[in-house]
């Protein structure tokens, strides 16, 4: 039984070395599969092939943090997402960069800079700002920790409503009070049936006037036209997006030109290949011993 890795050749090279050292069989690329029946684990971003081609498949491992790009799993196949500190750290840093950029008015200063305009607006201290994080998973908690250390007043909104140290946590039924106290809304939610389209005119209207949006969840959670309307009526001041629908965002999309919006091309985080390979080895071992698979996606929750 073997793991099949589909992905760029550089990732293949790193995984090959780590799997060889660990004495675990691995095949790189679908063309290299001699016997589909021998494939027990598949690691990829998005399988190009029909998963039914591998009748003995036990697990599919998403090489990223998200799994929304995956097709439905065949009966009996577990879906796992990679747990990699590299991604948690990188996305945390992107989110904090974006939060500080919006808080300190960078969209406005970038627009002024393009006109060579030297004009100051009153700056604010972090301790006067209220950050609200939607999604308190590994990344959300990492963001909360640093935002709190910077002095922001930090709240979170999560499905479980479970307590997180230093964070004022709101449960699913408390969206309105959560938004009402949030000047900087950060979305880090996974894409599920419940979160698709969540960032809507209804949500923007519940934020205080002049709030800002940092979006590093998934593009399909954001209604871009509702965001535009909220920017136009001044309800939202600015937004920074690392995810869009579709991706890539078309060249002629209004958001590229809008001085109130900064778009980056989904560069928040990328799994370090070595960490990804080591996580896959841990999944294979757990699957062999019957232990809990690290990063197992719970079908009903969708993450
Ligand atoms: C990136 O968006 C990922 O899911 O890893």
- As a whole number, mean pLDDT of residues 239-254 equals 98
CA atoms within 13 A on the CB side of 197: 3
pLDDT at position 299 is 80
Atom number in ligand 1 closest to CA 218: 2
Q: How far is the CA of 21 from the centre of ligand 1 (A)?
A: 27
Going by C-beta distance under 8 Å and a sequence separation of 6 or more, which residues neighbour residue 83?
138, 279, 294, 295
65 lines ligand 1 (CB under 6 A): yes
Distance 217 CA to ligand 1 centre (A): 9
Is the model's pLDDT at 228 over the cut of 90?
Answer: yes
Q: What CA–CA distances, in Å, run from 27 to 80, 211, 246?
A: 19, 49, 32
Ligand 1 atom closest to Cα of residue 270: 5
Read off the pLDDT of residues 56-109 as tens digits, 9 standing for 90 and up: 999 999 999 999 999 999 999 999 999 999 999 999 999 999 999 999 999 999
8-state DSSP, 258: -
Tell how far the Cα of 191 is from the centroid of ligand 1, in angstroms: 11
What is the Cα–Cα distance from 117 to 110, expressed in whole angstroms?
A: 10
Q: In this structure, what token pair is assigned to residue 125?
A: 């201290």
Write down the mean pLDDT value for the chain.
Answer: 96
Q: How far is the CA of 257 from the centre of ligand 1 (A)?
A: 26
Return the H-helix or E-strand segment holding 186.
strand 184-187
64 ligand 1 Cβ < 6 A: yes
SS3 of 276-289? HHHHHHHHHHHHHH
What does residue 23 show for φ and ψ, rounded to 5 degrees?
70, 25
CA distance 130 to 191: 25
Which atom of ligand 1 is the closest one to the Cα of 63? Answer: 5
- Separation of CA 190 and ligand 1 centre (Å): 10
What are the structural domains of the chain?
2-84+271-289 (3.40.50.720), 86-263 (3.40.50.720)
Q: How far is the CA of 87 from the centre of ligand 1 (A)?
A: 8
| Close Cβ partners of 90 (under 8 Å, ≥ 6 residues apart) | 268, 269, 270
pLDDT tens figures, 41-55: 999 999 876 899 999
Which atom of ligand 1 lies closest to the CA of 66? 4
The best mutation among 7, 46, 63, 66 to test binding of ligand 1, ranked by most ligand atoms within 8 Å of the C-beta, falls on 66
In which element (H, E) is residue 149 found?
Answer: helix 138-150
Whether ligand 1 lies within 6 angstroms of the CB of 263 is answered as no
Q: How far is the CA of 34 from the centre of ligand 1 (A)?
A: 30
How many angstroms is it from 66 CA to the middle of ligand 1? 5
pLDDT confidence band for 303 (50 / 70 / 90): confident
Going by CA atoms, what residue is nearest to atom 5 of ligand 1? 64
CA distance 222 to 178: 18
From 81, 84, 87, 248, the mutation candidate for ligand 1 (largest count of ligand atoms within 8 A of CB) is 87
State the angle between helix axes of 273-289 and 9-22 in degrees (0 to 180), rounded to the nearest 10: 50
Residue 102 carries which DSSP code?
H
With a pLDDT cut of 70, the percent of the chain lying above it is: 99
Closest CA to 78 of 279, 277, 291, 287: 287
Query: Which atom of ligand 1 is least distant from the CA of 87?
Result: 5
What residues contact 168, with CB distance under 8 A and at least 6 apart? 153, 154, 155, 156
Average pLDDT over residues 293-299: 94
Whole-number pLDDT of residue 302: 78
Closest atom, ligand 1, to C-alpha of 271: 5
Under a CB-based contact definition with an 8 Å cutoff, are residues 273 and 15 in contact? yes
Task: Give residue 255 CA to ligand 1 midpoint distance, Å.
Answer: 22
**pLDDT (average), residues 25-44:** 97
């Amino acid at each position: 039984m073997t793991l099949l890795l589909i992905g760029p050749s550089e990732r293949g090279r790193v995984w090959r070395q780590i799997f060889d050292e660990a004495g675990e069989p691995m095949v790189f690329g679908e063309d290299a599969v001699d016997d589909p029946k021998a494939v027990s684990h598949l690691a990829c971003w998005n399988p190009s092939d029909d998963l039914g081609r591998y009748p003995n498949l036990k697990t599919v491992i998403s090489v990223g943090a998200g799994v929304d790009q995956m097709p439905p799993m065949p009966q009996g196949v577990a879906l796992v997402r990679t747990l990699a500190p590299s991604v948690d750290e990188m996305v945390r840093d992107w989110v904090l960069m974006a939060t500080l950029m919006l808080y300190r008015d960078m969209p406005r200063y970038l627009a002024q800079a393009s006109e060579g305009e030297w004009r100051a607006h009153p700056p604010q201290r972090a301790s006067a700002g209220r950050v609200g994080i939607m999604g308190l998973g590994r990344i959300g908690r990492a963001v909360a920790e640093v935002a709190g250390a910077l002095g922001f007043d930090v709240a979170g909104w999560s499905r479980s409503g479970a307590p997180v140290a230093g964070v004022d946590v709101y449960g699913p039924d408390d969206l309105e009070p959560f938004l009402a106290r949030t000047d900087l809304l950060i979305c880090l939610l996974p894409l599920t049936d419940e979160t698709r389209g969540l960032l809507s005119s209804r949500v923007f209207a519940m934020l205080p006037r002049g709030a800002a949006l940092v979006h590093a969840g998934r593009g399909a959670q954001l209604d871009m036209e509702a965001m535009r309307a909220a920017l136009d009526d001044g309800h939202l001041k600015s937004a920074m997006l690392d995810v869009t629908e579709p991706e890539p965002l078309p060249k002629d999309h209004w958001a590229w030109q809008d001085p109130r919006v900064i778009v980056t091309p989904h560069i928040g985080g990328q799994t370090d290949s070595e960490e990804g390979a080591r996580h896959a080895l841990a999944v294979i071992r757990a699957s062999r011993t019957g232990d809990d698979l690290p990063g197992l996606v719970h079908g009903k929750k969708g993450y």
